[in-house]
Chains A and B, each alone.
Chain A
Amino acid sequence: MNERRVGWVESALSHLAIVVGVAFSLYPVLWVVSTALSAGSAPERRVLPIPRSLTLDHVQHFLSDPHVVSQAVSSLVVSVATALVGIAIALPAAYALSRFTFVGKEAGVRLLLATQMFPMVASAVPLYIVLETLGLLDTRTGLVVCYATTSVPFAIFQLRGAFDTIPKDLEEAAMVDGATRFGAFVRVVLPAARPAIAVTGLFAFMSAYNEFILAATILGKEEALTLPVVLQRFVGEHDAAWGAFAAGSILVSLPVMLLFYVVQKNLVAGLTAGGVKG
């Protein structure tokens, strides 16, 4: 009996801690939602973000743009492509760093880490020139290539850590059975690293999905713009359409939450099955 009561108290306490966390994470967003749905109210000091008069005008304003559907598609295509390309580049490199020794490995890892340390302030114009040379200006491909390569260093670190936890015996057994190194990598190592790949892909997706300066600089066609650029246009020099900006931001973040909901099944699968089999 006693044990069951301890379990009950414990579970209540964990729920309480998580609910506090949820309140902390929701409270500012509820203010944004309130701005998005509010027709305007006198500013006053108040605790609860409840709009005084409801309206869907701001949501309508955001959705009324004739290009908004193609821009949403553009955003999703760019972000998904970023995640796929980034992961595709990072996977073999992370595997090599985890399994092989080779000349320049240490220096390469250090250089990868070093790329994260340099603030973007000075490298934007050179990046533009590189894209121009490659003929990728004004294309979503150029944007994807930029985002993907930028996400590669972090992805390599994440995936290398995941590969390190997968025992070598697994793929060695497969190779004894006649598989090539690449075959063992694809059939044995990748499935075992699925949770890490899902999480890393999510990171790459997010970084592309919320970026606007580079996207605004590179893209030049209205229907190809990504949603963060579209949102940012609600902020002018002197004033901003806060209601529409807030409404748009909430709408734009819905796919991310959906995606996370899907990805987290992977996290659960990893947890219950255990990262290591056999």
Chain B
Amino acid sequence: MKRLLLLLLIVLGCPARASADEPLAVWHAYRGDEKTALEQVLAEFEKRQGVKVEALQVPHDAYAAKLTAAVPRGHGPHLFIDSHERIGDLVERGVVAPIPSELAAPGQFSESALGALASPAGLRGLPLALKCLALYVNEALVPEVPATLEGLGQLKLPSGVVPLAYEIRNMYFHAAVLHAFGGAQLAPDQSFGFRGQSGVRSLELVQRLMRDRVVPEEASGAVVGELFKTGKAATVISGPWFASDVGQSVKYRVVPLPKIEAAGGPMRPFLTVEAAALTPKGSGNAMAQALLAFLAGEPGAEIRARVGRQVVALNRPAAGGDAFLAAFAAQATVAVPMPSSPRMRTTWEPAERALKKTLSGAVTPDAALTEAARRFDDVVRPPPARRSPNGALLVLGALSLAGAFWLFTRFRQGELGPALRRSLPAYRWVAHAVIGVGALVILPITVGAGTSLFAGPQGHMHYVGLANFWEILTARGAPLLSSGSFYLVLLITLLWTVANLSLHLGIGFALGLLLSRPSLALKPVYRVLLIIPWAVPSYVTALAWKGMFSRQFGAVSALVEACGVEPFSWWARFSTAFAANLSTNVWLGFPFMMVVTLGALTSVPKEVLEAAEVDGATRWQRLWRVTIPMVVPTMLPAVLLGAIWTFNQFNVVFLVSGGEPDGTTDILVSEAYRWAFTRQAQYGYAAAYAVLIFLLLFVSSRLMSLVNREKAAA
């Protein structure tokens, strides 16, 4: 067995060693045609230069995490591709090296694209492609495109066809409306810009679009695609990526977004510039620079436009008569370049919350925007002041001295020495677990917990003592039970944990018990069918659940309707959104408890049950007096861990309700993730949340075991 393991480890270790002649590495998150185009460009470069280039496609959801973990430590690629506003963010984390100015020949690239990548230290990358929204028109349904959004609403269409489909609850799309009214998501002075007259009027407009059924209300990206492909949507607002989804299913053309009559100007979507950037490792490498120039410049651009259907960022007329690319290029000239400051990233969450809240009809646009601005200001408040770490070091030193003294006295009293000697054989059994868990689980956690004493941007953090904890526990000056405060979210988390755990246990135990009946036919089949929720990757099933709860197109809504109830929006109220999260997580989690039950039932000897039966115990008595008392000790650890995991289960909350309505279904751990990833990357603050979660769980588990011990003693 041991030899087998060793062999396995050796085999595993071998294949991924880097050779001395290191190939150029390129990381990207492209899919489909764009990926094919990139691979062709790289192959062409390999052929011309005689070097080896290795491309790695990273999932978009893990891209930033991978870059920030690998590059600052000298690992990772020579070159990577990302959008300009994220590259701006990565500069501060040491992921991006400035581009030598001679790589961008004057006049070669489009001015607006270069502007988006400019920084005081030089260019952050070379622009590859422009991405923005435009209007896809079904030519059969709309022979002549109206010039205004209002005109779209008055199209004569067959019944069952919506005039316009887009993700109306998504801020990226709403920004195009906001810009038409002269607003901005981030004001030039770096304050929250989605406010005032322009903000209110943009929200009133989309409210009307939804009420008049010009736009379907809960359309996800997938639903928008299906509507357009099946001729159920006359027009769609989307980006160049939409074309590969539509394929040849309908005849369409692309035109710039319409004017909004009420605003007196055109809709202006955000412009993002996709760029290739050099990492510090690639910046000194002449071949990497050559590849960058090749990729962004003419030979690369031709392939990317032809194969990848990219609107390339070169300063030249758009790809010889290609109407599709020309339409996007025209739209790009009136688009608004997305600001690349870290503050921009912070605007998304409050802005989108305000949008969703208004669309659900819960509040007036004015109130929603005031709340959003307050949230934004709360997140961008200055970090706590720098403190001297001397106090903490003193406390730490005193504590270790006291500990050492305590150990020493126990040793002197002659208790510890013999006890340790008696323990030696046992230590041999646990040593490798201690080393493994210590190095790879406990050490990272301890370092992570230490982050909670720091604040500021990553890479430039400063020590602030317990200030992060103080801010969380005082709700940053707001009333203690105000929306999003630690205490309110804690209450929700407790409700979430208790509800989930009782349903997991109830369903899992009942099914486990039924499945262990010796006389049951089809048992193996049932068992396998019942663990399916656990076996299928949860990302896709959680999103399937979210789709099932859609008011207009969801299966649950169809069931509700079949029962004679008018379908309602599941995300508009806390109770229904919570129920949606709960059913998803119960579905995901009950197989685990079922398997644990099945495992635990194996420890109940058949003979004992038979003896009880002989003694005349009814089945019910056997269950309560024999089976349950015998499985509780085996199941207790799994139940306790199940409770802890549910307390920290953020995937479902993130993917299903996303915190809707208005962040009320968020739990503590999803708050922590929001602080770490969407709110200015405040890792110290997120770590403080994590430490508080840890302390809560630790103290309550200790209390529970003390109570149990007391009960056992009584």
| Chain A interfacial positions (CB closer than 8 Å to B) | 7, 11, 14-15, 17-18, 21-22, 24-29, 31-32, 35, 40-47, 49, 77-78, 81, 84-85, 88-90, 92-93, 95-97, 100-105, 108, 110-119, 121-130, 132, 134, 137-141, 144-146, 148-150, 152-154, 156-158, 160-162, 164-165, 181, 195-196, 199, 202, 206, 210, 212-213, 216-217, 219-224, 228-229, 231-242, 245-246, 249-250, 252-253, 256-257, 260-261, 264, 267-268, 270-272, 274-276
In the bound assembly, the distance between CA atoms of A14 and B515 in angstroms comes to 9
Candidates B511, B537, B691; contact of A252 at CB < 8 Å? B537
Task: Determine whether the beta carbon of B552 is less than 8 Å from that of A45.
Answer: yes
Task: Determine whether the beta carbon of B442 is less than 8 Å from that of A228.
Answer: no
Given known A-B contacts A122-B452, A206-B534, A88 and B1 have beta carbons under 8 A apart: yes
Is B58 interfacial (CB 8 A cutoff)? yes
**Interfacial chain B residues near A237, Cβ < 8 Å:** 29, 60, 83
Q: How large is the interface on B (under 10, 10 to 19, 20 to 34, 35 or more residues)?
A: 35 or more
Task: Determine whether the beta carbon of A217 is less than 8 Å from that of B444.
Answer: no
Task: Determine whether the beta carbon of B433 is less than 8 Å from that of A119.
Answer: no
> Closest CB of chain A to B505's CB: distance in Å?
14
Candidates A105, A149, A206; contact of B436 at CB < 8 Å? A149
Is B298 interfacial (CB 8 A cutoff)? no
Candidates B8, B452, B536, B591; contact of A84 at CB < 8 Å? B8
Task: Determine whether the beta carbon of B16 is less than 8 Å from that of A112.
Answer: no
In the bound assembly, the distance between CA atoms of A116 and B640 in angstroms comes to 10
Task: Determine whether the beta carbon of A220 is less than 8 Å from that of B16.
Answer: yes
Task: Determine whether the beta carbon of A126 is less than 8 Å from that of B447.
Answer: yes
Is B620 interfacial (CB 8 A cutoff)? no
B interface secondary structure, majority: helix
> Closest CB of chain B to A119's CB: distance in Å?
5
**Interfacial chain B residues near A116, Cβ < 8 Å:** 641, 644-645
Q: Give residues 469-497 of B contacting A (CB, 8 Å).
A: none
Task: Determine whether the beta carbon of A149 is less than 8 Å from that of B441.
Answer: yes
Task: Determine whether the beta carbon of A17 is less than 8 Å from that of B436.
Answer: no
Task: Determine whether the beta carbon of B422 is less than 8 Å from that of A102.
Answer: yes
> Closest CB of chain B to A264's CB: distance in Å?
5
Provide 27 A-B residue pairs closer than 8 Å at the C-beta atoms, listed in order of the A residue: A7-B519, A15-B521, A25-B591, A29-B533, A40-B249, A43-B232, A45-B557, A46-B558, A49-B555, A101-B426, A115-B442, A117-B698, A119-B648, A122-B690, A141-B9, A161-B636, A164-B634, A217-B65, A217-B69, A222-B56, A224-B15, A232-B59, A237-B60, A239-B225, A250-B536, A257-B531, A260-B527
9 A-B pairs with least C-beta separation: A270-B602, A122-B448, A102-B423, A96-B429, A216-B62, A232-B59, A123-B448, A157-B637, A93-B433
**Interfacial chain B residues near A129, Cβ < 8 Å:** 73
Stretch from B94-102, B540-548, B621-629 at the A interface: B540-548
Is B601 interfacial (CB 8 A cutoff)? yes
Given known A-B contacts A43-B226, A156-B433, A253 and B444 have beta carbons under 8 A apart: no
> Closest CB of chain B to A24's CB: distance in Å?
7
Given known A-B contacts A127-B444, A238-B241, A139 and B65 have beta carbons under 8 A apart: no
**Interfacial chain A residues near B425, Cβ < 8 Å:** 100, 181
Task: Determine whether the beta carbon of B558 is less than 8 Å from that of A229.
Answer: no
Given known A-B contacts A158-B637, A261-B524, A267-B598, A121 and B31 have beta carbons under 8 A apart: no
Task: Determine whether the beta carbon of A257 is less than 8 Å from that of B528.
Answer: yes
**Interfacial chain B residues near A232, Cβ < 8 Å:** 59, 61-62, 539
Q: Which of B2, B420, B427, B537 has the most CB of A within 10 A?
A: B537
Q: Which of A43, A160, A232 has the most CB of B within 10 A?
A: A43
In the bound assembly, the distance between CA atoms of A199 and B648 in angstroms comes to 23
Candidates A15, A81, A145, A162; contact of B440 at CB < 8 Å? A145
**Interfacial chain A residues near B635, Cβ < 8 Å:** 161
Given known A-B contacts A139-B13, A242-B222, A216 and B591 have beta carbons under 8 A apart: no
Given known A-B contacts A47-B559, A96-B426, A212-B59, A271 and B602 have beta carbons under 8 A apart: yes
Is B156 interfacial (CB 8 A cutoff)? no
Given known A-B contacts A235-B59, A272-B606, A157 and B641 have beta carbons under 8 A apart: yes
Is B229 interfacial (CB 8 A cutoff)? yes
**Interfacial chain A residues near B371, Cβ < 8 Å:** none
The residue on B at minimum CB distance from A186 is B1
Is B554 interfacial (CB 8 A cutoff)? yes
In the bound assembly, the distance between CA atoms of A122 and B446 in angstroms comes to 9
Task: Determine whether the beta carbon of B15 is less than 8 Å from that of A221.
Answer: yes
Is B412 interfacial (CB 8 A cutoff)? no
Given known A-B contacts A11-B519, A122-B690, A246 and B540 have beta carbons under 8 A apart: yes
